[in-house]
Chain A
Amino acid sequence: MRKFRTAAITATMVGALTLAACSGGTGGDTSGSPEPDTAGGDAPNELTFMFRGGEYDKIAYEAAIEKFEEETGASVTMIITDADQYATKLQAAIAGNKVPDVFYIEPGKMMGYVYADVLADLTEYVPQETIDNIWSFGTDAYRFNTETGARGDSADPLYGLPKDVGPFGFGYNTVLFDALGLEHPSADEPLTFDEFVALCQELTQSDKLDYETWGTGLNVVWNSQAFIWGAGADWISEDQKTVTVDTPEFAEALQWFADLGLVEGVTPSAEQAQTLDTYQRWMAGEIGFFPVAPWDIATYNSVAEENPDKFGYDVIPYPVANEGDDWSTWLGSLGIAVSENSKNKELAAQLATYLSTDLDAQKILAENKVQIPNLIDYATGEWIETDAPAAGWPANTKAFLEIAEEKGRPLPGVWTYTPEWYDNFWVNITRVVDTGDQSAADFLAEVQPQMQQLLDQSWISADQAKANG
């Protein structure tokens, strides 16, 4: 009896503490307010919309929803959550059968949601002319063939519309170029890798200015994709079934990327980059080339305004291995989806379309430098000609549109069922790019089988999810 009591007390203690820990989440909701009811609306005109975002997203969507309610007589309840808790809360809402009518969805998680019948097929609800006026990447990212598991084909069913498309562009410090008497790179033609290195060497100075400068300072996890692709290599085959990092082109490109710091010395050292990260150094005017994305524009503009003697910027194409090669970079997106179990599916699809394409909402978001417009006719017309320059977007903003239109590609892990295989690539990458303890070729030969195993597992999981429904 005593033994049983001891065991029971112990089990209860462990269990209770486990549950307490699980309820803690990612740091806990400190607001103390009750959880909002995420369930879809019951009445014929009631909808719930769950999303995450900043101040301007809220302003833009409030305006769009007000107009939508006036036009349709609908009543929309907005549920906004913290960005870092959104995915967990959505998953909990789905598990609890309280799926909102309309909600944000990450393209990388879409397959699981479609297989579980959480997402409504919007194909029949969204007019073709509306789809034609959205960047094709923005809609293709939410297309999915449940039979083959293929993504991105414009003939497949549509399970979401883009909240935005996020072109991850490349830029340079115009002020630093001028200070060192260097010619600005072309806004249209990409530099070759050799030209890029030569310019970086010119930009890496410790005595010409009264502060130390470097050519570039790129984070391998987020910034190497464009260079790997620019050398004709890729992480995954077109059918998304084979990990292709063990090719000579990939090894050469990755080694070249690592050597920017290890051999050429045109980036802050690993220690320097870790103590003051290169993002801060870029904004301090110490770095020549650095990524520029729409969500950075507001910050970069204020830095340029505060510190015009050291910082100014513009956007250019990413470098490529050889002259004439095609450049590309990654393009992110966040989607707006509709619940398959919504009692007002058609109205919900209408709201999703509205949020994605309402001109006034798009104008608010673009004016406040949250995103480039989703609407092609507006983006390539009035916006690029008058609204963008007036709002302070960089001179070569058309590079963003070019990425949205044709140069953008999804990050490698986004179109597979899970991104674990791709995440695995970065675990020991510091051995190649920071310390140089391992050559790129050796690293890739070692990591490819692990990645392939995880990719195979991802496909097995996808098949299981499909069978489970």
Chain B
Amino acid sequence: MATTAPPAESTTVWTKEDAKASRKANNKLHRREHAWAAAFMAPPVIGWIAFLLFPLGFSVYASLTNWNGIGNMTFIGLDNYTRLLQDQYFWKALWNTVFYMIGIPIGLALSLALALALSRKIRGRTFFRTVYYIPVISSLAAVAILWQWAYNGDFGLVNQALGLIGIEGPNWLMDKDWAKPALIIMAVWKGLGYSTLLYLAAVQAVPRSLYEAAALDGASSWKRFTKITWPMVQPVTFFLVVTNIIAGSMIFTEINIMTPTGGPEWSTASLVWYVWNQAFRNLQMGYATAMALVLGILVLIVTVIQFRINRANDFSID
């Protein structure tokens, strides 16, 4: 602390009392500064404790109890966790949830393609951007009901459209093999606008000089895409992959609306749907919480791996 050191060439004698008084004044000043700093930091910290740390701690404890969601809790150790290891429906729901992730690369590929198309100066560009973004701002419940109708085997829009090109579509939501793909298609459609918007911003931010230099060197369009565009939009891809995996792991609303009993032979039941059923229909809140925490941990692990992979592939343009 420079201010507390005695003046180097001063003739005044720097006594212990002086040093003490100076420290006291400085401490007082620091205390006030600390108080203000604490006051500014408090709201987010309190919010984090109240809305994240406390619920998380509560959830961890609840998962170790046989709580039914309305009565008292009794500690039962790891019983809920050993139970879920033997629960065939937990594994089936987990598999279904993982299966839904197939939609993520499909959605990203389509979004990037659309973003590249919409970044060009084509007629009706604003109109198309609006059209693709409308599903994002539409209510998921309403969208799910519309798609439920669209998937009707006989009169649904999807099969009628397929019929125009001579394809006899399946009975989407009633067929155990087609119900999951049907939900994936809907999810891709719903999220397309959001991903496209982010990709569009990323594509437009790529310096034109890079493309010009590559063109001068004789790089083909494909080379320019793979060597310039794709690496430059990688942060957006990373962000979308991470958030889509987190969001995809919690797929619930569309399943509950479109296949309220978990689909034919439980083919659409996701883990969050199963958690919800156990918690609110079967009064097994403790068990449901254990499953939710396992899902959370799995997502956390996947996300950390993604961060590591991303760091390894990180690059910058100097």
Spell out B's residues near A (CB within 8 Å).
48, 51-52, 55-56, 66-74, 139-141, 144, 152-155, 171, 174, 176, 242-243, 246-247, 250, 252-253, 256-257, 261-262, 264-266, 272, 280-284, 292, 296, 299-300, 303-304, 307
CB distance from A442 to the nearest CB of B (A): 16
Q: A19-B51, A91-B280, A275-B152 are in contact. Are A13 and B242 (CB under 8 A)?
A: yes
Contact at B66–A17, with CB atoms within 8 Å? no
Sample of 7 more A-B contacts, CB < 8 Å, known A10-B304, A13-B246: A14-B300, A17-B247, A18-B296, A28-B141, A94-B70, A418-B284, A464-B74
Q: A27-B144, A112-B70 are in contact. Are A15 and B307 (CB under 8 A)?
A: no
From A21, A27, A274, contact of B153 by CB (8 A): A274
Give the top 6 A-B pairs by smallest Cβ distance, nearest first. A275-B154, A27-B141, A116-B71, A21-B250, A418-B282, A275-B153
Contact at A112–B68, with CB atoms within 8 Å? yes
CB distance from B79 to the nearest CB of A (A): 10
Question: What are 30 A-B residue pairs whose CB atoms fall within 8 Å in the complex?
Answer: A12-B52, A13-B303, A15-B52, A15-B296, A18-B296, A19-B51, A26-B252, A26-B256, A27-B141, A30-B141, A87-B280, A88-B280, A94-B70, A95-B69, A109-B283, A113-B70, A275-B152, A276-B154, A418-B283, A419-B282, A420-B281, A427-B262, A427-B265, A428-B265, A431-B265, A461-B68, A464-B66, A465-B71, A468-B67, A468-B74
On chain A, the residues within 8 Å of B174 by CB distance are 274
Q: A7-B304, A27-B141, A116-B71 are in contact. Are A17 and B243 (CB under 8 A)?
A: yes
Contact at A275–B171, with CB atoms within 8 Å? yes
On chain B, the residues within 8 Å of A276 by CB distance are 154-155
On chain A, the residues within 8 Å of B253 by CB distance are 24, 26-28
Which residues of A from 13 to 45 have beta carbons under 8 Å from B? 13-19, 21, 24, 26-28, 30
CB distance from A450 to the nearest CB of B (A): 8
On chain A, the residues within 8 Å of B281 by CB distance are 87, 418-420
> A417–B176 Cα gap in the complex (Å)?
30
Q: A6-B304, A28-B141 are in contact. Are A426 and B243 (CB under 8 A)?
A: no
CB distance from B205 to the nearest CB of A (A): 23
Contact at A468–B71, with CB atoms within 8 Å? yes
Q: A91-B70, A419-B281 are in contact. Are A16 and B52 (CB under 8 A)?
A: yes
> A19–B246 Cα gap in the complex (Å)?
12
CB distance from B274 to the nearest CB of A (A): 11
Spell out A's residues near B (CB within 8 Å).
6-7, 10-19, 21, 24, 26-28, 30, 87-88, 91, 94-95, 109, 112-113, 115-118, 221, 271, 274-276, 417-420, 423, 426-428, 430-431, 461, 464-465, 467-469
Contact at B299–A430, with CB atoms within 8 Å? no
Contact at A17–B73, with CB atoms within 8 Å? no
Q: A10-B303, A276-B154 are in contact. Are A91 and B71 (CB under 8 A)?
A: no
On chain A, the residues within 8 Å of B292 by CB distance are 18
Residue of A whose beta carbon sits closest to that of B303: A10
On chain A, the residues within 8 Å of B261 by CB distance are 221, 423, 426
Q: A17-B243, A17-B246, A18-B250 are in contact. Are A420 and B282 (CB under 8 A)?
A: yes
Residue of A whose beta carbon sits closest to that of B269: A427
Contact at B299–A14, with CB atoms within 8 Å? yes
Contact at B71–A14, with CB atoms within 8 Å? no
From B71, B155, B246, B257, contact of A27 by CB (8 A): B257
Contact at B246–A14, with CB atoms within 8 Å? yes
On chain A, the residues within 8 Å of B307 by CB distance are 6, 10
On chain A, the residues within 8 Å of B141 by CB distance are 26-28, 30
Contact at A10–B300, with CB atoms within 8 Å? yes
On chain A, the residues within 8 Å of B303 by CB distance are 10, 13-14
From B51, B52, B68, B139, contact of A116 by CB (8 A): B68
Q: A13-B242, A418-B284, A427-B265 are in contact. Are A28 and B70 (CB under 8 A)?
A: no
> A413–B73 Cα gap in the complex (Å)?
25
Q: A30-B139, A276-B154 are in contact. Are A115 and B71 (CB under 8 A)?
A: yes
From A91, A275, A461, contact of B284 by CB (8 A): A461
> A63–B133 Cα gap in the complex (Å)?
47
> A116–B285 Cα gap in the complex (Å)?
14
Q: A10-B304, A28-B141, A95-B70 are in contact. Are A275 and B51 (CB under 8 A)?
A: no
> A118–B141 Cα gap in the complex (Å)?
32
CB distance from A466 to the nearest CB of B (A): 9
Identify which of B66, B74, B282 gathers the most chain A CB atoms within 10 Å of its CB.
B282
CB distance from A274 to the nearest CB of B (A): 4
> A464–B287 Cα gap in the complex (Å)?
13
On chain A, the residues within 8 Å of B264 by CB distance are 430
CB distance from B44 to the nearest CB of A (A): 11
CB distance from A383 to the nearest CB of B (A): 35
CB distance from A317 to the nearest CB of B (A): 29
Contact at A24–B68, with CB atoms within 8 Å? no
